[in-house]
Every structure is written in C-alpha cells, then in structure tokens.
Structure 1
Amino acid sequence: MRPPKPTVAIISPALRKANNGNWQTAHRWSRFLRAGYDVTLASEWAGPTAGDLAPACLIALHARRSADAVARFADACPKRPLIVVLTGTDLYRDIRSDPAAQRSLELATYLVVLQDEGPFELSTAHRGKCRVIYQSAIACHSHAVDSEYFDVVLVGHMRPEKDPLTAMRSLALLPDDSRIRMTHVGGALDDEYLRAVQALQAQTWPLGERYSWLANLPHAETRRRIAGAKALVISSVMEGGANVIVEAITSGVPVLASRIPGNIGMLGRDYEGYFPPGDAAQLAELLQRASQDIGFLTRLRQQCAQRAPLFAPARERAEVIKLVADALRPT
C-alpha cells in the first residue's frame, strides 16, 4: 500500500468565479502539484479541525488579503513550511505600510514574486528567501484576420490599479482616419467605469465605433480574443506580473504596456513598446505607430518572442514543484 501523499493547501483570495490573475495562478499551480501531493484550493484556511490534519505546506497568494490564513497556519504549525506569493497590490503597495502584509513576509518560509523586478521591492533579509517564478500559458497561435482595421484588446476587470480610463481616453486622441479598434474584456467593478463605457459607446463616429466592451468572458474565449488581436494593451499603474502579458506573448501578439516595474519585469528593460502610466496621449501615439509602422510592430513581436521561453509551462511547473520539494525537505 502506497503511503499517503503530503497535503499542500493553496489559499487564493479569488477563486474560479472571480476569473482573475490570482485564480489563474492558484489553479495552474494546483494542477502542477497534483501528481505528487494532495492539493486543496480554497479562499481561506481556518485551522485544523477534528479528524482533519493540517497540511504539510501552505501556499498563500497575496500577503495582505491572505494574512489571516498565513497567521493561523504559522501559529498552528510553526515548524511547517509557509510560502507567500506576492501577486500585485501587496508587492507594490501593501508591504510598505500594512502591518498584516508585513507580518506575512516575516512568517513566510519562502516568498515568491512573478517577475524579475519584484525582488527589488523587498528588504535584503526578505530578498534572501525570495524566488522568481514566471507564470506560464500554453501556446495559442494567433489567428488574426486580415482587415482594414488594427484590432487591439484590453483585458482586465475595471479598477483603479488597471487604469482602463487611460486606454479609453487614448481613443479620442487618435486621428479621424485611424484604423484602430479596441475590444475590452473585463467587468466594471465600479459605477464610474460603467458610466465611462456608456459615454464612450454613445459617441458619434468615429470614436463610438472604436471601442467595444464585452464585459466578462470565459477564460478560453478571452484567450481567443487575445490571439486574434494585432496587439494587447495593458494600461495598469500597478501589476505584480500580469498573466495577460504571458497569454499575449505565447500567442505571438505584441504588447503595448505602461512603463511600471511589474510590466518591465515581464517584458524587459529594453522593450520598445512602453508608454508612461496614465499618459493617454503617449498611448495614442504608440497605438498609431504600431498600426502604421510594420517595422516597429515586427520589432515588438521579435522582442516578445525573445521573452517567450520564460513563460513555458514546463519551466513554471518544474520551478513550482522544486519550490514545494525544497520547502518540505528536512533541515
């Protein structure tokens, strides 16, 4: 009779219904680990219950939003490994001022960031227990259709960190004869964004025809939309390591990105497709250049292709499995 597999609990503040980056990471990691471990995936860990042993290892996504689960596990199982994955707002905001997030860093056996600029946000002591693990996606080859339009896609739920309003405003700054059309995938999490969508769609030609909002879509359909675009726009002011960048690059689709650390860590410091965060005019110029200059667009594709090996599923799988194996290795 085979001995039981060790149990690994993955805590994600967002689960399947949210359909966001945290969920995609948690779900993917659970698949990677199931061959060697019994994996549970939940939004909280309340502590061991009668007849239910504590997991051998806990992986918590987001230092602040999973802080209660981190603290409970550290208190109940002080000698068991605890991995905290810094996924975005915690890395670039919460750990600077939030006591609960800072406590999560202290309690963690290992810290994980999702791109190679991330460790620079940590103290020297915390950097010493940090690993960079890039997210991954299965290749989904582009099926962009030749047309008179230059179709771009914006993917992400509408909230301040994603700054969708900058992308929307850029459309009004394009010349009347621009070929650009933008499709936006993601829910409006605040009435401000819903009003902005409605106002943009109510505009007369050409502005009203340039923007299409599809709200929430299943993940597979979102990937098809990305693969069918000429470029992906990411206008965020804060990112831990955007999964949509991975999905664009593995689809052969170049990215037009705000110049923030989380995007630089994904695309590289020398990438040519950046614009200043919040600068709608510069984004409009970048969109127009990408739609008119085939040489520029080709360079962006080539630069993205050079980063693609970082986002291979086999690489992420091996690094996640090694992380947990190292954490569980007796010392």
Structure 2
Amino acid sequence: MPTVILLCPDARRAGGNSTTLARLSGHLSSLGLEVTAGDVQDSCQLFRDYGLLTSLFVVTIHAYKSACILEGLPSNAKLMLIFGGTDLNENGKNEMERNIMKRVVERAQCCVAFSHDQKKLACILWPEHAGKVKVIHQGVITSPNPNFNLRSYLESEHSYRAKDYIILLVAGLRPVKDPLYLMKAYADSPLSETTSFVIVGPVVDDKYAQVFMQTVSNLRESNILYAGQLSVENAHAAIAQSLCVVNSSLSEGMAASILEAFQLGVPVLARDIPGNSYLVKHDETGLLYSTPQEFLRHLEKLLNSSDQRERLVTNAKAGLGRFSSTQERELYKYLINRM
C-alpha cells in the first residue's frame, strides 16, 4: 500500500492549514493510502521513519514554509506541493523568498492552487513550471458541536455577556489577517452598543499577538473581545450562532471560514481583495467592503434587513457545488494516480 506523508506549517494549531491537512488526510485515507500527517518542522524524523519505502508520496502545504523539507526529502519520494495563499500573495513579492520557493516548485511533480487566480499568479512567478500547476478548489466540510453555545462560553470563560447580535471574525493572529483593521471604526460606531465583535483564532505571530491583545483589551467596553482558540467543531458552532462572519485579511488564498459560513447559512462580510472576491459576489453571496466605514454601512444594512440576510445565504449555499468535498477527493485521487 502506498504511503503518504502529509505536511503543513503550524499543524498543531487550529487554523486554515491544519483544517486543510485534516480534510486531505481523510480524503487520501479513503483512497486506500496509508497517511501520516505532521508539521513541516518534523519532516526529517518522518523521512527517517519512512524514507526507505519504495512507494512514498509527500504532500506539503505552503511553498515557502515547506522549503525546509527539501534537505531530508528522500530522492525516491514523489512530491506534491499545495500553495497556501500567503506564499504566492506575500512571499512571492520578495526575490529571495521567491527563489527559495522555486526550489520546492522545481522538485515537485505537481503543484495545486486553490483557485484559477492563484494558478495564474503561480504561473507568472515560475512560468517555466506552469504545466505543473493544477486547480483544485477547497472542499468545505462543517461539523458544528451541538453542545457548544457561544454565548455561554463567552460568559463562563471570558466573563462577558454578549449583546443581541454577535459578529464573528475567525483568523489566526498574524499581520496578514489584519484582525485590528476594523476595530477603531467599530468601537467609535453606535453599532458597538448593540452588537458584540468577537475574534477567535490561534496565536500565529507572537509579536503581533502582543499588540493585538493590548489593543483589544482596551476596547472591551466597546464590546470587542478576543475569545481565544476554539476547536474546529466549536468554531463551526460559533459561526452558526453568529449574525455574520467577517474577513479582514490583507490577502487570502481561499478563506475556509467564508466557505464554512456559506455552508452553515451565515452571511459573510469580507474585505474586497482578490482571494475573497473569488468566493464572494457582492450583494449576491455576501458583502465586500474596501474601508472600515463601508463595512459599517454594510453591517447596519444587514442588521436591519432579514430579507437581505436570507437572500445572501440562499445564494451562497446554491453556489457551493464547485467546493464539493467529493469532487476535491476525486481530483486529488486523479493527481496521485498520475504521480
């Protein structure tokens, strides 16, 4: 039976990469492959354990952060690279980092992008390897914990009683996710008196998290609260119990929280950047904003219009076909077979 080592950065933290890791592990296991999942930092030990196998596949997420695996990667291993989003959008702007990523792209038998826009960017960065890049949309799977109540959690764990409506931002604490982008405008708005703005997600960048924590702690009286890291199941339950899900990232590959909100029937307000506009069609499947003030206008309208909320979630659910988990599994099966 072929063995697959599935790797991503920050595998131990509940975030976009670890969610993708878990979903792909399930897909590949269902295909009859023996799958071992781990962090890229543990790759050398995993390669020592499995490196003598004659049929070894390595699937790794994020071109820049996966460069460390090349040192110990067995020569007989087949490598599939999955672009994470930040690698193309951010690391790709830096020549040194771009060259480091090129080594991973060169070694890979195939590369996967989550969207056609991401594929186009990869082909611009490394045109000589354009033929390797395939598009597989992320599949969306939600499993909300029926026993988790967000309001009760906020009261018991954070001594905070939420307002009538909860606005939820799901993101790891790091600069590219820009979770502070909306905070001042929201705190100064009358909306902060009748709603609660809750941020959940793991600490990914310790230095940035210190600034974030201090800022948010000073805004608690404005009903802004960081509620820590939740398990995937509890995060899904929190999404389902919120008025809307917010994305404020500077750049995105494909935000899992947006797809999860679509499936769970919750409206999305997302910053108007390429990764988000690939998923969200403004005023059809969600709302896009370019400034904090525009965000507040959209939020106020959403609060006052149940018809708009219903229309957005109905359209969003109807468009989820291209993000089918079954289709995602079949496409990875096809690529693995070709490799």
Pair in the same fold by TM > 0.5 = yes
User: Do the aligned residues in 2 keep the contact of 1:170 with 1:283 (CA within 8 Å)?
Assistant: no
Structure-2 residue corresponding to 1:238: 251
Does residue 1:293 correspond to 2:305, yes or no?
A: yes
What is the distance in 2 between the residues matched to 1:120 and 1:135?
A: 17
From the superposition, tell whether residues 314 and 272 of structure 1 become closer, same or farther in structure 2 (CA, over 3 Å). closer
User: Do the aligned residues in 2 keep the contact of 1:174 with 1:288 (CA within 8 Å)?
Assistant: no
Structure-2 residue corresponding to 1:136: 139
Q: CA deviation at 1:274?
A: 0.5
From the superposition, tell whether residues 194 and 177 of structure 1 become closer, same or farther in structure 2 (CA, over 3 Å). closer
User: Do the aligned residues in 2 keep the contact of 1:142 with 1:228 (CA within 8 Å)?
Assistant: no
Write the deviation string for residues 120-179 of structure 1: whole angstroms up to 9, x where unpaired: 21224433222222222335589999x983322111122111111113223224326864
Q: How does 1:134-173 map to 2 (within 5 A)?
A: 134-139=137-142, 149-173=164-188
Q: CA deviation at 1:246?
A: 1.7
Structure-1 residue corresponding to 2:18: 23
Q: Say which SS state the counterpart of residue 321 (structure 1) adopts.
A: helix
Structure-2 residue corresponding to 1:307: 319
1:82 to 79, 82, 94: 79
What is the distance in 2 between the residues matched to 1:41 and 1:125?
A: 30
Does residue 1:284 correspond to 2:291, yes or no?
A: no
TM-score by length of 1: 0.84
2:288 to 274, 285, 289: 274
Structure-1 residue corresponding to 2:156: none
Q: CA deviation at 1:180?
A: 2.8
Look up the equivalent residue of 1:196 and give its one-letter code.
T
User: Do the aligned residues in 2 keep the contact of 1:140 with 1:250 (CA within 8 Å)?
Assistant: no
Does residue 1:95 correspond to 2:114, yes or no?
A: no
What is the distance in 2 between the residues matched to 1:252 and 1:127?
A: 37
What is the distance in 1 between the residues matched to 2:168 and 2:321?
A: 23
Structure-2 residue corresponding to 1:64: 64
What is the distance in 2 between the residues matched to 1:248 and 1:163?
A: 19
User: Do the aligned residues in 2 keep the contact of 1:84 with 1:108 (CA within 8 Å)?
Assistant: yes
Unaligned runs of 5+ in 2: 151-161
Look up the equivalent residue of 1:135 and give its one-letter code.
Q
Q: Say which SS state the counterpart of residue 181 (structure 2) adopts.
A: helix
Q: Say which SS state the counterpart of residue 180 (structure 2) adopts.
A: helix
1:186 to 201, 218, 222: 201
Q: Say which SS state the counterpart of residue 257 (structure 1) adopts.
A: strand
Q: CA deviation at 1:85?
A: 0.7
Look up the equivalent residue of 2:244 and give its one-letter code.
A
Structure-2 residue corresponding to 1:7: 3
From the superposition, tell whether residues 122 and 192 of structure 1 become closer, same or farther in structure 2 (CA, over 3 Å). same
What is the distance in 2 between the residues matched to 1:286 and 1:119?
A: 31
Does residue 1:174 correspond to 2:177, yes or no?
A: no
Structure-2 residue corresponding to 1:199: 218
Q: Say which SS state the counterpart of residue 91 (structure 2) adopts.
A: helix
From the superposition, tell whether residues 324 and 268 of structure 1 become closer, same or farther in structure 2 (CA, over 3 Å). farther
Runs of 4+ in 1 over 4 A off after TM superposition: 139-145, 268-272
What is the distance in 2 between the residues matched to 1:316 and 1:94?
A: 26
Structure-2 residue corresponding to 1:247: 260
Q: Say which SS state the counterpart of residue 166 (structure 1) adopts.
A: coil
Q: Say which SS state the counterpart of residue 217 (structure 1) adopts.
A: coil
Look up the equivalent residue of 1:53 and give its one-letter code.
L
